[in-house]
Amino acid sequence: MVIPALDWDRVRDRVADFNASGAPYYLAETALHEAFKHGLTPETVPLCIMAVNSFWNANVDKEPGALKDLCERTVNNLNEIKNGVERVCEVSLPTNSSGLSAIVSGGRQLLPRFLKAPNARRTNYSFASKFLHWCCPSSLPIVDTMSVKKMNQIIGNGTIWVPRPGSTTTENKCLDSYERVIEFYNEALAQLADAERADLVKHDFESQPQGFQRPNTVVRILDKYLWMEVKQPKP
| pLDDT tens digits, 212-234 | 899 999 999 999 999 999 999 98
Specify the long-range contacts of residues 160-168, CB closer than 8 Å, at least 24 apart.
Answer: 160/184, 162/125, 162/126, 163/123, 163/125, 163/126
pLDDT tens by residue, 129-157 = 999 999 999 999 999 999 999 999 999 87
pLDDT tens by residue, 1-49 = 889 999 999 999 999 999 998 767 788 999 999 999 999 999 999 999 9
Name the nearest CA neighbour of 53 among 132, 127, 135. 127
Name the nearest CA neighbour of 32 among 127, 112, 113. 127
Residue 18: C-alpha distances to residues 12, 59, 145, 150 (Å): 10, 22, 17, 16
Percent of the chain predicted with pLDDT > 70: 99
State pTM to two decimals: 0.96
Q: What is the rounded distance in angstroms from the CA atom of residue 17 to the CA atom of residue 31?
A: 19
